[in-house]
Amino acid sequence: MTEMTEMTEHTVHTRPRIVIVGGGFVGYTVARTLGKKLRPNEADVVLIDATGVMTYQPFLAEVAGGLVEPRHLAIPLRQVLPRARVVTGRVTTVDRQAKTVRVRLPDGTGYTESYDQLVVAPGAVPRTRQIPGLAEIAVGFGTLADASYLRDRVLTRIGLAADTDHLPTFRRALTFVVIGGGYSGVEAVAELQNLATAAIKRYPNLKPRDMRWELIEAGEEIMPELPPKLGEYTRRRLTKSGITVRLMTQVTSLEDGVVTLSDGKQFAADTVVWTAGVRANPLLATLGLPVDARGRLQCNPLLQVQGAPGIWSAGDGAAVPDLAAAGKVRDNRATMPLCGPTAQHAVRQAKRLARNILATMRSRSTNEYRHPDAGSVASLGLHRGVARIYGIPMRGIIAWLLHRCYHLMMVPTWGRKVRVAAGWGAALFGRRDLAPLPAGSWTLNLSGMPVGIEQVAESWHDSPQSLSVSRQRSATSGAAVA
């Protein structure tokens, strides 16, 4: 089919058309709510997503830890949204005059989709910095590919360490670094280290203390959203498991896979994970719509993009006033707090947004978004967690169970919930599945280019330091911390 024919097909329509850009927490929830509430033939819903699946990100750390199968968190939008036409493609531009969006399909061809109401929700991307080597060496932590890659990376590096007789390769393979001490960084380091500790027991010539785990945070504390006591508990818990937590420390270079810290320390690492924050999808700044300093679409409490009638937004890519948190300062717009980038806000905003679109189409009154923060839960590895629910701090196995139960409840569709729970059951009654995918079969990094680590590791082999495996064990035990 030619591009022109497709354009004609999609632009001629009789019913109002609601186009949703992005099929994540916001896009999926808007389409689902509209699907339930729209009258027959009241409107057409078109959802355009770059991947065609919604990813349940809060369980990514469990995917990295090998406790949840990646496919069980990939919700196929076409199957679960029968009332929407789902397009797998990337929106590249919005023409507000013509009321159209331009869609690029995976094969590079494109077409134009017209809208009456437009929801723009392409989420966020990792917030990277100008650090030499970062894009080539580090892996992000926002997709199923990232989490699956890291699980296999950790397992294959342990295998490499067990087989090599070259000391620098051994040390480097067993050095794992997570940059960023927010929720995702803490969960990632805890689950990956848990996995590695289970895996290393299967190698008689390796010991858990041969591994070096580093969590590097530029701020004064990890997980600053938690009350200080819980933050401190988390730090102690991680340290007790063998993770070095460095606060007020920045990574200044990752060139050639050598991690250089702001305090001058240097060490080589084969596995570096970047979780130091997110920023709004760069697409948003190119649309000619008002964005704030962080590139998020400026929205009013009704979730309409400021000064753009018929265009709505929510989630990580939207700057939405947090009326519930604002309390008495509401009249003072300069101090108005904004909703944080959480799934909790994204889902609730999306439901309100869908209802406001329907109200607009039916000439009824719309309502402002107002949702008091219910708190947060985080896993610190198997059977350990922290939580703050409506201000009440919790820790240990209770918090961990809450984390699992809450997120299991939130995973879309019963089919997916059952699959995730069945996986946990299998791990409970059987042994943890530690099978890596064939080593080196795939690579990943922040730049989207092949990881340079394999080549870097090879160049290290040229170094004159080569020791026997037995000598390495005693040498590296003492070398765990620089």
Ligand X SMILES: Cc1cc2nc3c(=O)[nH]c(=O)nc-3n(C[C@H](O)[C@H](O)[C@H](O)COP(=O)(O)OP(=O)(O)OC[C@H]3O[C@@H](n4cnc5c(N)ncnc54)[C@H](O)[C@@H]3O)c2cc1C
Nearest CB to ligand X, comparing residues 33 and 184: 184
User: DSSP string spanning 67-99?
Assistant: SS-GGGGEEEHHHH-TTEEEEESEEEEEETTTT
Q: Quick check: helix, strand or coil at residue 177?
A: strand
111, containing H or E segment: strand 110-114
Q: Which of 20, 158, 346, 386: binder of ligand X (CB under 6 A)?
A: 346
Out of 65, 123, 168, 301, point to the residue binding ligand X (CB under 6 A). 123
Are 346 and 314 spatial neighbours (Cβ–Cβ below 8 Å)? yes
Which residues are registered as beta bridge partners of 305? 299
Site for ligand X in 12-31 (CB under 6 A): 21-27
For ligand X, the closer CB: 115 or 141: 141
* 47 is a contact residue toward ligand X (CB under 6 A): no
- Would you say 166 or 404 has its CB closer to ligand X? 404
Q: What is the DSSP letter of 54?
A: E
Decide: is 412 part of the binding site for ligand X (CB under 6 A): no
Q: Which stretch binds ligand X (CB under 6 A): 54-62, 171-179, 293-301, 419-427?
A: 54-62
**Least spacing, CB of residue 179 vs ligand X, in Å:** 14
Residue closest to ligand X, measured at CB: 24
Q: Which is nearer to ligand X, 234 or 344 (CB)?
A: 344
Q: Which is nearer to ligand X, 27 or 168 (by Cβ)?
A: 27
The span from the CA of 472 to the CA of 476, in Å, is 6
Q: Judged by CB, which is closer to ligand X: 296, or 355?
A: 296
Closer CB to ligand X, 183 or 213, in the complex: 183
Cβ-based nearer residue to ligand X, 183 or 267: 183
Binds ligand X (CB under 6 A): choice among 141, 233, 274, 460? 141
CA neighbours closer than 13 Å in the CB half-sphere of residue 154: 32
Binding-site member from 91, 215, 222, 261 for ligand X (CB under 6 A): 91
First to last CA, the chain: 61
Q: Binding residue for ligand X (CB under 6 A) from 100, 156, 342, 356?
A: 342
Among 343, 357, 394, 399, which residue interacts with ligand X (rule: CB under 6 A)?
343
Which of residues 44, 49, 152, 191 is near ligand X by CB under 6 A?
49
Cβ-proximal residues to 332 (8 Å cutoff; 6+ apart), any chain: none
Q: Which of 127, 155, 142, 139 is nearest to 73 (CA)?
A: 142
Measured from the CB atom, is 91 or 160 closer to ligand X?
Answer: 91
- The interface with ligand X within residues 184-213 (CB under 6 A) comprises 184
Q: Which of 43, 63, 189, 283 binds ligand X (CB under 6 A)?
A: 283
Q: Is 160 in the site for ligand X (CB under 6 A)?
A: no
* Choices 57-65, 167-175, 287-295, 416-424; region in contact with ligand X by CB under 6 A: 57-65
121 contributes a contact to ligand X by CB under 6 A: yes
d(CA 180, CA 345): 22
Please identify, among the stretches 47-55, 164-172, 237-245, 251-259, the one whose residues bind ligand X according to the rule CB under 6 A: 47-55
Q: Check residue 284 for interaction with ligand X (CB under 6 A).
A: no
Q: In sequence order, which ranges of 411-461 are alpha helices (DSSP H)?
A: 414-429, 453-461
Three-state secondary-structure class, residue 294: coil
Residue with tokens 């803490």, as numbered in its chain: 186
* Helix axis angle, 414-429 to 397-410, nearest 10°: 150
Q: Is 155 in the site for ligand X (CB under 6 A)?
A: no
Q: Residue 40: how many CB atoms within 10 A of its CB?
A: 5
What per-residue string of b and e applies to 49-77 under the rule 16 or more CB within 10 Å gives b?
Answer: bbbbbbbbbbbbbbbbbbbbbbebbbbeb
Number of residues located near ligand X, criterion CB under 6 A:
34
Rounded CA gap, 188 and 225, in Å? 17
The dihedral through the CA atoms of 378, 384, 389, 391 has a sign that is negative
If one asks whether residue 50 binds ligand X (CB under 6 A), the answer comes out as yes
Query: Should residue 181 be labelled a site residue for ligand X when binding is judged by CB under 6 A?
Result: no
Site string for ligand X, 292-331 (x = CB under 6 A): -----------------------xxx--------------
Short-list 258, 288, 64, 103, CA closest to 177 = 258
Query: Which residue of 17, 72, 90, 348 would you call a contact of ligand X, by CB under 6 A?
Result: 90
Question: How many whole angstroms separate alpha carbon 202 and alpha carbon 415?
Answer: 34
Stretch that binds ligand X, among 44-52, 300-308, 417-425, 473-481 (CB under 6 A): 44-52
| Torsion angle, alpha carbons of 381, 235, 152, 197, to 10 | -70
Structure token digits, residue 404: 């699992």
d(CA 404, CA 411): 11
Assigned token pair, 482: 């620089």
Q: Does 58 bind ligand X (CB under 6 A)?
A: yes
In angstroms, the CA 143 to CA 156 distance is: 20
- Residue 341 binds ligand X, judged by CB under 6 A: yes
If the CB atoms of residues 65 and 341 are measured against ligand X, the closer one turns out to be 341
List residues binding ligand X (CB under 6 A): 21-27, 48-51, 54, 57-58, 60, 90-91, 121-123, 141-142, 183-184, 281, 283, 315-317, 341-344, 346
